Amino acid sequence: MTDPRGDGRLARVRASLEESARVKRDTLEAAGARIADAAELVIEAFRAGGRLYAFGNGGSASDAQHLAAELAGRFDRDRPGLPAVALTANTSDLTAIGNDFGFDRVFARLLEAHGREGDVAVAITTSGNSPNVIAGVEEARARGLRTIGLVGKGGGKLADAVDVAVVIPSDSTARIQECHIAVIHVICELVDAELFSE
């Protein structure tokens, strides 16, 4: 029996995947060089013995944890673990700081506690306007960390606040997040190639 909705579903699947592919191609054209620049900041930090701190809200918090896991664990080759931490992973930190200092200060306070000159901070926000992410970047810069922003929707306030902004040319949160994961994987690939080439 033919499902009358099947063709409509397939058309939606096709449209979504084609749009995702288009946004990735557009990102290459608009931000390819900035992705390479972002990877260079990460590579320089690790070469100098620094750490990477990643943070964001919601889906971007998941992306921060994904980035830290790929670096601390492994991406596509066996190699030593790299010092990468997602500031979103410890619920006790987040709830204690949020309760005592306000949610806008959660990332800034953690960077005050852990960030040091020579480290790198990766801030992830689809809008570029999340107050706690911007506060985290401000704290990172005050402490001498280099800063990277993964953003979309024109970059928002964050694009001008970081050393390197990778702006996904889309207003769709889903497409931006898909591209953020792709960018994260490219950065991990470049880190592995530069630091652990055979």
| For residue 116, pLDDT beyond 50 | yes
What pTM did the predictor assign? 0.95
Quote the CA–CA distance of 163 and 134 in Å, as a whole number.
13
CA distances from 74 to 6, 22, 70 (A): 39, 29, 5
Question: What percent of the chain has pLDDT above 90?
Answer: 95
Tokens of 150: 């993964």
Residues 6+ apart with CB under 8 A from 36: 190
Amino acid at 144: G
Q: Where are the domains of the chain?
A: 6-195
CA atoms within 13 A on the CB side of 51: 14
List beta partners, residue 154. none
CA atoms within 13 A on the CB side of 73: 9
Give the SS3 label for residue 54. Answer: strand
DSSP percent split of the chain into helix, strand, coil, nearest 5: 60, 10, 30
Tokens of 60: 């971007």
| For residue 137, pLDDT beyond 70 | yes
Amino acid at 24: K
Kindly state the average pLDDT of the residues 166-187: 98
Domain 6-195 class, CATH top level: alpha beta
Tokens of 51: 């750490």
Residue-wise pLDDT for 19-56, tens only, equals 999 999 999 999 999 999 999 999 999 999 999 999 99
Question: What percent of the chain has pLDDT above 70?
Answer: 96
Quote the CA–CA distance of 142 and 153 in Å, as a whole number.
26
Residue-wise pLDDT for 169-178, tens only, equals 999 999 999 9
